[in-house]
Amino acid sequence: GGKNLAIGPNLTACHSSYGRPDLLVYCCPPGFQNPVPFTDFKFPDTSPVRVRRPAHLLNESFIAKYNKALSIMKSLPYDDPRSFHRQANLHCQFCTGAYEMLNSSGSELNIHRTWMFFPWHRMMIYFHERILGSLIGDDTFALPFWAWDIPDGMTIPDFYVDKSSPFFHSQRDFSHFPPRVADLDYSPDDNDPRFDRKEQTETNLAFMYNRMVSGAKKTELFMGCTYKAGDKNCDSPGTIESAPHNTLHTWIGSGLNPGREDMGKFYSAAKDPVFYAHHSNIDRLWEVWRDINDRKLDIDDSDWLNSFFLFYDENLNLVKIKVTDVLDITKLGYSYEEVDRPWLNHRP
Ligand code: C2O
C-alpha cells in the first residue's frame, strides 16, 4: 500500500491559536507537555442502549436528570478533563488549529471544513454523553438532539432558554429565542427575519432537501474534502457542515459580540450547552444520509479510517479512538429515536 497519511494530533505540541483573525486564544489542556499514557478504544457494553431523543419531546424527568448531570459537570475543577470547561476547550483545540499534526510538524490540525468534521464531533459527543451519565450513575443517559430539520423542532428547545437552569447561556441572540423559527440558511447580513413563520418553515424544508439529497449526491459533497497528514489545502465543508451547521451556530450566538460568540465562533461554541444538542442532530443526519444512500457513498479510504484522536473517557482514561471505531453507532451503544424526514418530499 501507499504511505500512511492518516491524521492524528501531536499531543505534546499545543500552542495558542486564533479564535478570530483578531483574537489569540489559549485552550491547550493543562500539562500537555508531558505525555499521558493512553489505551486503545474498546467498544462499550451495548446494553442498555442510550436512545437519543428529540429535545422538544423530552419529559420533565429526563430534563431534571440532564440538569443534574450538567450542573455537576459545570462544578468540576478545570484540572478534571470531565469538567464542562475542559469539554468545551476540546472543541477550541481541534477547531482553531491549536495542535500540530503527528508526523507533520508545523501543520496545524483543524477538523472543520474537511472530512474529519462528522467523525470528530461524533467522538466528542460520545465521550461527553458517557461522562454526563457517569456523573449521575445513569448508564442509560443519552444526549437529546435538537431536531431543527422538522417543523416541530425548528425553535430553540424550551429548556435551553430557562434562565434558572444550567442549559441557559447568556451569550446568545435573545431575539432568536422561541417562538422564533430558526433560519437554517441564516446570514447576519440578511433581513432578520427573512420570512414569516410559515414561509420560514417551508424554506427550511426545501433547504434540507438540498443539503441532504440533491446537493449531497457525491461523497465529498456531503462529507467535506479529503484531508490527510501534511495537507494544507483541504478547505471545503460538506453541505450540512456549511449550512445548517455553521449558519445555526451564527444564528444562536450573540449579535453583540464581534464573532457572534459564543456559538458563532468555534473557539467558544462548546461553552453553550445547546452546542451538544445541535451536534447530536448533525450526528443523526450523518446516519440519515448514509441510510438514504444505502451506505454506498461511505468513505473507504484507509487514511480516513485510520485517522485518530484522543479523548478522556468517563473513567478519566485517555483513549485513542480511530475513525473506523465510530462508523457503527450500534457498537457505540447509542441510537436515535426515529423522527420524520419531512424534507424528503420537499424538492424545491
Ligand atoms: Cu466543531 Cu458545530 O462545530
- Collapsing DSSP to helix, strand or coil, 307 comes out as coil
pLDDT exceeding 90 applies to what percent of the chain? 95
Q: Residue range 112-140: average pLDDT?
A: 98
Q: Is the CB of residue 271 below 6 angstroms from any atom belonging to ligand 1?
A: no
Among 212, 276, 277, 203, CA closest to 239:
212
Which residues does residue 319 pair with via DSSP β-bridges, in sequence order? 39, 311
pLDDT band at 346 (very low <50, low <70, confident <90, very high): confident
Q: Is the CB of residue 128 below 6 angstroms from any atom belonging to ligand 1?
A: no
pLDDT at 3: 84
- For ligand 1, the distance from its centroid to the CA atom of residue 23, given in whole angstroms, is 18
Q: Residue range 299-325: average pLDDT?
A: 98
Q: Is the CB of residue 265 below 6 angstroms from any atom belonging to ligand 1?
A: no
pLDDT at 232: 85
- For ligand 1, the distance from its centroid to the CA atom of residue 67, given in whole angstroms, is 22
Q: Is the CB of residue 91 below 6 angstroms from any atom belonging to ligand 1?
A: yes
pLDDT at 230: 85
Q: Which domains does the chain have, with CATH numbers?
A: 9-345 (1.10.1280.10)
Q: Give yes or no for residue 348 having a pLDDT over 80.
A: no
Could you report the per-residue pLDDT of 26-76, keeping only the tens digit for each? 999 999 999 899 999 999 999 999 999 999 999 999 999 999 999 999 999
The DSSP-derived string for 135-172 is: HTT-TT----B--TTSGGG-S--GGGG-TTSTT--SSB
DSSP letter assigned to residue 76:
S
Q: Please confirm, yes or no, whether 56 is among the known catalytic residues.
A: no
Q: Is the CB of residue 113 below 6 angstroms from any atom belonging to ligand 1?
A: no
pLDDT at 147: 98
- For ligand 1, the distance from its centroid to the CA atom of residue 3, given in whole angstroms, is 30
The grid cell for 201 is: 418553515
Q: Is the CB of residue 249 below 6 angstroms from any atom belonging to ligand 1?
A: yes
Q: Is the CB of residue 269 below 6 angstroms from any atom belonging to ligand 1?
A: yes
Q: Give yes or no for residue 138 having a pLDDT over 60.
A: yes
Q: Please confirm, yes or no, whether 176 is among the known catalytic residues.
A: no
Q: Is the CB of residue 122 below 6 angstroms from any atom belonging to ligand 1?
A: no
Distances from the Cα of 226 to the Cαs of 241, 268, 291, 299, in angstroms?
A: 15, 26, 22, 10
The grid cell for 299 is: 468513505
Say how far residue 301 (Cα) sits from the centre of its chain.
23
Q: Do β-strands 334-336 and 50-52 pair in parallel, antiparallel, or remain unpaired?
A: parallel
Q: Please confirm, yes or no, whether 91 is among the known catalytic residues.
A: yes
pLDDT at 159: 98
Q: Is the CB of residue 95 below 6 angstroms from any atom belonging to ligand 1?
A: yes
DSSP letter assigned to residue 236:
-
Q: What angle do CA 258, 259, 263 make, to 5 degrees?
A: 135
Q: Give yes or no for residue 195 having a pLDDT over 80.
A: yes
The grid cell for 6 is: 492518516
The grid cell for 344 is: 424528503
Active-site choice (121, 128, 176, 278): 121
Active-site choice (56, 128, 176, 249): 249
Exposure b/e, 84-111, CB count within 10 A at least 16 = b:
bebbbbbbbbbbbbbbbbbebeebebbb
Distances from the Cα of 185 to the Cαs of 83, 149, 180, 201, in angstroms?
A: 33, 12, 14, 11
pLDDT at 103: 80
Q: What mean pLDDT is reported for the chain?
A: 97
Q: Please confirm, yes or no, whether 266 is among the known catalytic residues.
A: yes
Could you report the per-residue pLDDT of 5-16, keeping only the tens digit for each? 999 999 999 999
- For ligand 1, the distance from its centroid to the CA atom of residue 266, given in whole angstroms, is 6
Active-site choice (127, 266, 308, 311): 266
The grid cell for 177 is: 429565542
Q: Please confirm, yes or no, whether 15 is among the known catalytic residues.
A: no
Which ligand 1 atom minimizes the distance to the CA of 120? 1
Q: Give yes or no for residue 83 having a pLDDT over 70.
A: yes
Q: Give yes or no for residue 1 having a pLDDT over 70.
A: no
- For ligand 1, the distance from its centroid to the CA atom of residue 2, given in whole angstroms, is 31
